[in-house]
């Protein structure tokens, strides 16, 4: 989840007040490089003892595997569950790495606020996945995340390092740098943009086709409001809520997204990379004002759910749209596999994703259909797409104090780029128990929470190219066939100007956008908002990010 807005400000304040968070004793732990490099001791008289023979990586791993199992607490993403220690997949992972695997459980609703409470209480996992690179500075300064030198990664995770090298566009290895040091492992991803998902039964009832342009969208969504698509005799349906707003902005060429979360919010921290390879804040561009004007018009016409600010998700799995499932709206967005896994066949229950299962449980006779993102006045269109680098996996300062933990964490990451059967096990589990396979397509039998109790999805690293093209080839091809252009997440390099202002800018943007869409403020208030945004640190943050990104690109050229 990406709910970092108010949490980041609290985290920074706590870090300044206490020196560090999570029981680090006021001093940051030695880095992973420091702890693994210590090979000699000093005698009482001050004379250095002879250095012990440095072990090879293979010898170190052999020692680790022969020792007592080490406890490893994983915090991989916003959705998880308490692990069942007796589950077969858990035992498989534990035996493979000689660990006692624990999930660092946090309720996914208000995720980062809940994480912060545990940090403030002196608790910390060994592995922490962050949502985007802009969080890095706050977490490093707060004493949460430890340095992990790239040379150490190359030593203990060579397959991961090769995958990074193979995919690198010149900036991959710079993603988690902070003050010249590396603080984590960004994972290369095969990314499918979000899909536009319609109530097919509503379209069929009203004799409507799936729309393609903004004008056609308005006609269809208006019909959903006025022509009683659910047949209950009441005018109680809307066209869409907050999740589809990203595609409306996309029709004007800007990446202003709400994404998947438990409440509506605009993610200002996710900047956009322009066609000129220069990053910018899309929320203050003139094109965004055009999108807001249209959304306000649609809000006044009842096309947008009047309760959109409360969000489409009201708990449980983050991808669920309760507004869509409960018949409040007829359009939403999600990853294609959230609804249908590997084809458009909605009659095949084994082809249902987690959201489709929930949807059909409530609406047995209902159906969905995918459609294109709306085309705007200048021919542009597109939906939110997650970053081509993601699952930012970091080692905490607690884990960094133990060289064996560092080695083991790197081995867990590396295995995901080495062993196809391992990737399948940690993503899908055991065949005919946790998933079925037909014609090369793997389909989960259990829902997400139950899978995580079984240890599945607890140490996975997402849709890497190896995973997408070797295990989920048909699913990948299907996802690409029902989506179009994606506005990919730009990984903001951590700079002080950005870190210091982003919480304020997030809050400011969210309030202004809500006010303009709902009519609490006129559309022209956007111009005032832009000036206030810039004055509140937005202009300095944007310029600092642009300068840092340009410097990193130049540095790559010199290598």
pLDDT in tens, 503-518: 999 999 999 999 999 9
In this predicted model, what pLDDT tens digit does every residue of 7-49 receive, in sequence order?
A: 444 444 343 333 344 333 334 444 454 444 443 344 344 555 5
How far, CA to CA in Å, does 347 sit from each of 192, 310, 350, 479? 23, 32, 9, 18
Give the pLDDT mean for 361-388.
96
| DSSP state, residue 326 | T
Token pair recorded at residue 315? 């708990």
The band of 122, judged by pLDDT with boundaries at 50, 70 and 90, is confident
The band of 337, judged by pLDDT with boundaries at 50, 70 and 90, is very high
The band of 50, judged by pLDDT with boundaries at 50, 70 and 90, is low
Place of tokens 């003050």: 179
What dihedral angle (degrees, nearest 10) is formed by the CA atoms of 536, 539, 544, 549?
A: 130
pTM, two decimals, is: 0.75
- 350-359 long-range contacts (CB < 8 A, ≥24 apart) are 350/436, 350/438, 350/443, 351/443, 354/317, 354/319, 354/320, 354/444, 354/447, 354/448, 355/317, 355/319, 355/320, 355/321, 355/325, 357/447, 358/317, 358/320, 358/325, 359/324, 359/325
- Lowest mean pLDDT, pick from 16-20, 395-399, 455-459, 490-494: 16-20
Q: Which of 106-115, 125-134, 213-222 is the most confident on average?
A: 213-222
Best CA proximity match to 285, nearest among 527, 57, 495: 527
Under DSSP, is residue 21 helix (H, G, I), strand (E, B) or coil? Answer: coil
How far, CA to CA in Å, does 408 sit from each of 76, 104, 172, 449? 16, 17, 23, 26
Q: Positive or negative CA dihedral for 546, 548, 551, 556?
A: negative
- Lowest mean pLDDT, pick from 402-406, 444-448, 492-496: 444-448
Token pair recorded at residue 183? 């603080």
Considering the chain, what percentage of its residues have pLDDT values greater than 70? Answer: 88
Under DSSP, is residue 385 helix (H, G, I), strand (E, B) or coil? Answer: strand
Place of tokens 């259990």: 446
Token pair recorded at residue 502? 């982003």
- Lowest mean pLDDT, pick from 13-17, 293-297, 393-397: 13-17
Token pair recorded at residue 269? 């921290």
Token pair recorded at residue 110? 């208000």
In this predicted model, what pLDDT tens digit does every residue of 431-465 receive, in sequence order?
A: 999 998 888 888 888 877 788 888 888 899 988 98
- pLDDT(3) > 60: no
* CB atoms closer than 10 angstroms to residue 96: 16
pLDDT of residue 26: 35
- pLDDT(255) > 80: yes
Token pair recorded at residue 309? 């600010």
Asked if 415 and 210 count as a contact pair (C-beta separation under 8 A), the reply is: no
Asked if 74 and 127 count as a contact pair (C-beta separation under 8 A), the reply is: yes
- CA 410, distance to chain mean position in Å, is 21
The residues, ordered by sequence, that sit 6+ positions from 523 with a Cβ below 8 Å of its Cβ are 289, 292, 293, 296, 516
Under DSSP, is residue 102 helix (H, G, I), strand (E, B) or coil? Answer: strand
- pLDDT(280) > 60: yes
What dihedral angle (degrees, nearest 10) is formed by the CA atoms of 443, 445, 451, 455?
A: -70
Better-predicted residue by pLDDT, 406 or 104: 406
| Cα(370)–Cα(503) distance, integer angstroms | 35
- pLDDT(413) > 60: yes
- CA 477, distance to chain mean position in Å, is 21
- Lowest mean pLDDT, pick from 192-201, 372-381, 432-441: 432-441
* CB atoms closer than 10 angstroms to residue 552: 17
How far, CA to CA in Å, does 382 sit from each of 286, 312, 373, 488? 18, 20, 6, 10
Under DSSP, is residue 514 helix (H, G, I), strand (E, B) or coil? Answer: helix
Under DSSP, is residue 332 helix (H, G, I), strand (E, B) or coil? Answer: strand
How far, CA to CA in Å, does 282 sit from each of 176, 249, 435, 509, 550? 23, 10, 41, 11, 18
């Amino acid at each position: 989840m990406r709910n970092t807005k108010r949490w980041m400000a609290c985290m920074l304040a706590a870090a300044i007040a206490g020196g560090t968070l999570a029981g680090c004793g006021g001093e940051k732990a030695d880095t992973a490089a420091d702890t693994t490099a210590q090979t000699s001791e000093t005698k009482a008289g001050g004379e250095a003892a002879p250095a012990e023979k440095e072990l090879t990586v293979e010898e170190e791993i052999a020692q680790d595997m022969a020792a007592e199992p080490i406890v490893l607490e994983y915090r991989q993403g916003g959705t998880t569950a308490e692990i069942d220690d007796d589950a077969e997949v858990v035992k498989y992972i534990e035996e493979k790495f000689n660990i006692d695997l624990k999930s660092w459980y946090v309720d996914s609703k208000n995720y980062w606020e809940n994480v912060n409470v545990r940090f403030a209480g002196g608790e910390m996992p060994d592995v922490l996945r962050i949502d985007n690179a802009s969080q890095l500075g706050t977490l490093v300064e707060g004493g949460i995340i430890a340095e992990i030198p790239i040379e150490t990664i190359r030593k203990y995770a060579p397959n991961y390092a090769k995958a990074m090298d193979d995919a690198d566009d010149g900036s991959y290895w710079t993603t988690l740098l902070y003050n010249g040091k590396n603080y984590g492992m960004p994972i290369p991803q095969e990314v499918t943009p979000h899909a536009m998902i319609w109530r097919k039964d509503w379209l069929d009832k009203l004799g409507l086709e799936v729309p393609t342009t903004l004008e056609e969208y308005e006609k269809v969504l208006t019909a959903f409001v006025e022509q009683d698509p659910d047949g209950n005799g009441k005018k109680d349906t809307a066209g869409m809520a907050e999740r589809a707003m990203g595609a409306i902005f996309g029709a004007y060429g800007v990446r202003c997204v709400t994404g998947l979360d438990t409440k509506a919010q605009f993610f200002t921290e996710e900047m956009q990379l322009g066609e000129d390879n220069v990053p910018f804040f899309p929320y203050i561009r003139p094109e965004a004002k055009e999108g807001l004007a249209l959304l306000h018009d649609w809000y006044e016409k009842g096309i947008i759910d009047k309760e959109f600010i409360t969000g489409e998700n009201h708990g449980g799995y983050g991808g669920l749209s309760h507004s869509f499932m409960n018949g409040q709206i007829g359009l939403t967005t999600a990853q294609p596999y959230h609804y249908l896994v590997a084809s458009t066949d909605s009659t095949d229950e084994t082809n249902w994703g987690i959201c489709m299962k929930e949807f059909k449980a409530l609406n047995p006779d209902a159906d969905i259909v995918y459609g294109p993102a709306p085309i705007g006045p200048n021919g542009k269109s597109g939906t939110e797409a997650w970053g081509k680098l993601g699952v930012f996996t970091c080692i905490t300062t607690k884990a960094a104090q133990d060289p064996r933990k560092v080695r083991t964490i790197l081995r867990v990451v590396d295995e995901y780029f080495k062993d196809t059967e391992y990737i399948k096990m940690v993503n899908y589990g055991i065949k005919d128990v946790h998933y079925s396979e037909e014609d090369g397509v793997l389909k989960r039998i259990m829902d997400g929470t139950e899978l995580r109790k079984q240890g599945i999805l607890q140490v996975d690293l997402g849709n890497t190219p190896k995973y997408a093209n070797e295990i989920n080839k048909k699913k990948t091809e299907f996802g690409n066939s029902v989506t179009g252009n994606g506005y990919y997440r730009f990984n903001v390099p951590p700079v002080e100007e950005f870190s210091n202002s982003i919480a304020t800018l997030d809050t400011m943007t969210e309030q202004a956008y809500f006010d303009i869409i709902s009519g609490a403020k006129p559309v022209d208030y956007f111009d005032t908002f832009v000036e206030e945004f810039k004055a509140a640190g937005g202009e300095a943050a944007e310029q600092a990010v642009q300068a840092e990104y340009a410097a990193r690109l130049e540095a790559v050229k010199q290598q």
